[in-house]
Amino acid sequence: MPIARWAFNIRQPLLLENVEPLVTSLTDNDKPNIVPVSNLLNFLPKIECDRLLQKRLEDEMRRGLIGRLMIHSFFAAHHGCRWDQLVFSRSETDKPILLQPEHLTKVSFNISHHGDWVILAGDTSLESTVRLGVDVMDFQEQVPGESFDTFSACFLDQFTAKEVAFMKDAPADPSSPSGTAPQLKRFYRMWCLKESIVKALGVGIDFNLKSFEFDVQDEEETTKPTLSTRIQVHEPSPEFPEEGWSFEEALLDAEHCYAIAAQSEMEGSGPIMDGSEIKRLDWNELLKDAVPYPVQFS
């Protein structure tokens, strides 16, 4: 069951050459060869455009827009759909779900964005028997120089004692202002793993994150994916079994990490992820199959 794994850096400038002849709007007056990403709203249905235009910060809109484009591009590239015939809605937990075409509504996919990156994981098989959840995090210090204990005080009750020990046992970094950069990176790594499970299960934010525990085998992340992390579910159920889970973790760059959780419902299906690096898209690849939606704005 091949899984598509895509990443897109939102700092890539959208150049006129990337979108001609897709759009005909003027370029940014200050940067004659750069096109505002708002031009790409034409490639989404109006209901999605309206949602994105409510974003107050430009980066929020940019991440959200690219995420929606990635979902469309995934279904066009791997399932042969016409871009402008895809119809989406939202689940009770605000997860995007596909409504049309009907024969693809069971295909599992998930999206996440934070900082400079947007990532997507999607099942390329029509007979989808896998649940997917993804998360990406920016290694940002909320308050420069803040100690790890102060930063994490509001969050540590979401982790088991073993997970907290994994974070706190990270070696100090004298070069960082507070000396806690490695601890923060481990915190964000563990948070990515927790969120990937929540999103794969499709549950809400009130889900008990201490009901399962991660056992991290490879202590340090690199850009090469790590597949060795394991999970223990304290009270397994048909909705949340302990068997069949696979995890992929890696760095996207020095400031961002991601995690993918995949749970196969087929016994003996073999590894879900193969250890290859995530595919990093550029604008040309993202917009390869793009066509405008009809009658966008009245």
Q: What is the pLDDT of residue 196?
A: 97
Where the chain has pLDDT below 50, the residues are 24, 26-27, 297-298
Number of C-alpha atoms within 13 angstroms, CB side, residue 209?
22
Amino acid code (one letter) for 179? G
pLDDT tens for 178-235 read 556 889 999 999 999 999 999 999 998 789 999 999 999 998 889 999 999 999 999 9
Q: What is the pLDDT of residue 298?
A: 46
Residue found under tokens 């871009």: 83
| Gap between the Cα atoms of 152 and 163, Å rounded | 13
Taking the CB of residue 153, how many other CB atoms lie within 10 A of it? 10
| Gap between the Cα atoms of 63 and 113, Å rounded | 6
pLDDT tens for 160-183 read 999 999 999 988 776 665 556 889
DSSP string, 275-297: SPPPEE--HHHHTTT--PPSS--
Q: What is the pLDDT of residue 87?
A: 92
**CB-neighbour burial class of residue 253 (10 A; exposed 0-12, middle 13-18, buried 19+):** middle
CA 121, 125, 130: angle at the middle one, nearest 5?
Answer: 60
Starting at the earlier edge strand, list the strands of the sheet with 256-264.
130-138, 256-264, 245-253
| Helix extents (H) in the chain | 16-19, 46-53, 58-79, 148-152, 161-168, 181-201, 283-286
